[in-house]
Amino acid sequence: MTVALIGYGEVGRILAEELRAAGQTITAFDLKLDSAEGEALRAHARTHAVTLAGSHAEAVRSAELVISAVTAEQTMAAADACALAMPAGGFFLDFNSASPGAKTRAAEIMAGGAGRYVEGAVMTAVPPHRLKVPVLLGGPHAAALEPQLRELGFSAKVFSGRLGLASATKMCRSVIIKGLEAMTVESLTAARHYGVEDAVLASLRETLPGIDWEKQAVYFFQRVIEHGRRRGEEMSEAAVTVQEAGLPPWSAAGTAERQTWVAELADGGVFGERGSPGFARSADWRVEADRILEQVRSRGPR
């Protein structure tokens, strides 16, 4: 199968590696190809024999399957850039973390061309699962795409023939999962300031003994530092999802702000020598909490 990847970030590169290893033909396009990050993307593509295109249209023109894995805010723009270039009957699988309303509007954009839009809700972090990450499919073309995805090695299943429900499931889950990340960073950083972090962790272990809180704290700090901007965008979409249900999105909006705030610290080089932080920069969450506290003291709280 010829597969086009729109977005060659972490998710796009993982999919490229897996699909190329299975013998599929891969083309890819990313807006960052012409930026400072472009050479790293090009090097990865050379290593894995992925053809890089010069535009969205060039990437999708001959693809039987297009997978859009861009940032949440680029969901509709990516669909718009691909719609008129899609081959007749080609599938456009939207992996992006966007609200049900955004997915529905992206489907409407795709309907202006010859491609078939399928909503995809990626239900957990891609890196540990890679191609086997659980994906919920939605929309009228989901049932037609499911067996092809399974043949490619995806762990995908049809959730609903109605657009928006798969994404609603993901977004509502994210209110808790991404919220827990942000709350952990906030709570333990504040506890570190007061010198009571060990007492807080002991209390958490007593209340929720099924979680290894020390290990979980390390993971949460690392993920927010590495992916806070992307998570912030996703949580802005989660806030829209909650708002579309008629509820004030206090938790989702606060999580978006906290995730983005940490990402801005990361962009400033707080968590490493370069502006772009490395994953697992420190195996001790206390080191990262101290770095946050140093910035708060120098800049003032946000």
As a whole number of angstroms, the distance between CA 263 and CA 257 comes to: 10
Per-residue pLDDT at 301: 58
The residue with greater pLDDT, 63 or 230, is 63
Compute, in degrees rounded to 10, the torsion defined by CA atoms 262, 188, 172, 99. Answer: -10
Q: Angle 24-25-30 (CA atoms, 0-180°, nearest 5)?
A: 120
* Domains of the chain (ranges, CATH numbers): 2-163 (3.40.50.720), 167-299 (1.10.1040.10)
* Overall pTM > 0.85: yes
Mean pLDDT of 119-145: 96
22 pLDDT more than 70: yes
How much is the mean pLDDT over the chain?
94
Instruction: Band the pLDDT of 192: cuts 50, 70, 90.
Output: very high
C-beta neighbour count of 207 within 10 angstroms: 9
pLDDT tens readout for residues 220-246: 999 999 889 989 999 999 999 999 999
289 pLDDT more than 70: yes
